[in-house]
Structure 1
């Protein structure tokens, strides 16, 4: 099985609430809101880059090729959890409702199987275009009231830790640990290998969500 393309939401969204970031930083006025919102978006992008796969809720369309001779019992979708499979097209032919009802879906893992033949059902070779609804809903404000969404709290917390670090760093190198005074002593840096610019504690929180299924 080869996933050839994945199309879905592309707009950047913050993965944590501004109010939570301000509380962490003990900021009570609105003078820094524009900057804090920008840092939340930056931290969210860093978190998503580190995770390495799309996780935000939306309408997704995935093109998958099943090769001849491939004994495929399950199709693994790229975005999960899956809330609904809207349509499936196979080699240009759209599946009817009866065919869609033969699907077995492991929503949390994003696995599609042919429920009508649970032991022997195989996906026929060819090109599939699958449209589905999947992903986590980030926390947001609805009519001024916080909505926690479905995004795991550890992802939001990693974004808050990263945004706080960016705010505190200001114009300084965020990896700078210490520097000399009047040329006395030496300068040293905190360097975390492989974190993609995230603080190590934030990267640790996101580790479980990287790449494949969890």
Structure 2
């Protein structure tokens, strides 16, 4: 279970200024683009099954078997604030954070373990951003796709007008475009069915 202690101020994976430049749009479109940025950012977070923004969380593990490794759900981990076992805070010498984002305990433990840590990326609205460029590029590609298709029937797949004409419609949900999915592939967390 994860409890957010310090929530990020936003979740947008790109900025309005970047989108205006990318689309060569004007500030007159800013309200619509702000909504589109939020929507696309949310879509990418759902697709990747994760939160990208840097947040402080407490993750609780209820261990029924002894273990000396705790695989944290969020990454990249930027800091582990504390590790508690059955209500007692462990000394920093009793655990270490591996480069793989795993907390390694000096001894195997059993019971309720709480790890207080910060994980995620500093988003593009900050000068010290750490969000990988390919994640922002994926957001820009989706925004560009949505922006260029405005005013069209979203279910229209093809239309041929040779004499009589033919219209084909998309059935079911629309998948993530392949080029966007490949940009996001390294950041997707497996889902739990």
Query: TM-score when scaled to structure 1?
Result: 0.77
Aligned-pair Cα RMSD in Å: 2.6
User: Which one of the candidate residues 50, 57, 61 is aligned to 2:58?
Assistant: 61
User: Which one of the candidate residues 185, 189, 192 is aligned to 1:211?
Assistant: 189
Gaps of 5+ in 2: none
User: Which one of the candidate residues 115, 122, 126 is aligned to 1:137?
Assistant: 122
Following superposition, the deviation at residue 53 of structure 1 comes to 2.0
* Correspondence for 1:75: 70
Distance 2:93 2:174 in 1: 44
| SS of corresponding position for 1:73 | strand
Structure having the higher strand fraction is 2
2:13 counterpart of 1:15? yes
Following superposition, the deviation at residue 211 of structure 1 comes to 0.9
Distance 1:65 1:194 in 2: 38
2:80 counterpart of 1:85? yes
User: Which one of the candidate residues 97, 102, 127 is aligned to 1:111?
Assistant: 102
CA offset digits 1:169-205 (Å, max 9, x no partner):
213234534335599322235689783xx33321221
Seen in structure 2, the aligned counterparts of structure 1 residues 202 and 36 have a Cα distance that, compared at 3 Å, is same
Check the 8 A contact 2:124/2:131 in 1, yes or no. Answer: yes
Following superposition, the deviation at residue 102 of structure 1 comes to 2.8
Check the 8 A contact 2:8/2:54 in 1, yes or no. Answer: no
Distance 2:172 2:97 in 1: 39
2:150 counterpart of 1:152? no
Residues 194-205 of structure 1: pairs in structure 2 closer than 5 A? 195=175, 198-205=176-183
Gaps of 5+ in 1: 142-146
Distance 2:30 2:163 in 1: 37
Following superposition, the deviation at residue 12 of structure 1 comes to 4.7
User: Which one of the candidate residues 152, 165, 170 is aligned to 2:145?
Assistant: 165
What is the count of residue pairs matched by the alignment? 188
Distance 2:74 2:187 in 1: 12
CA offset digits 1:97-145 (Å, max 9, x no partner):
xx123322124x311113xx4xxx32x110011111111111015xxxx
* Correspondence for 1:6: 2
Query: TM-score when scaled to structure 2?
Result: 0.84
Following superposition, the deviation at residue 82 of structure 1 comes to 1.3
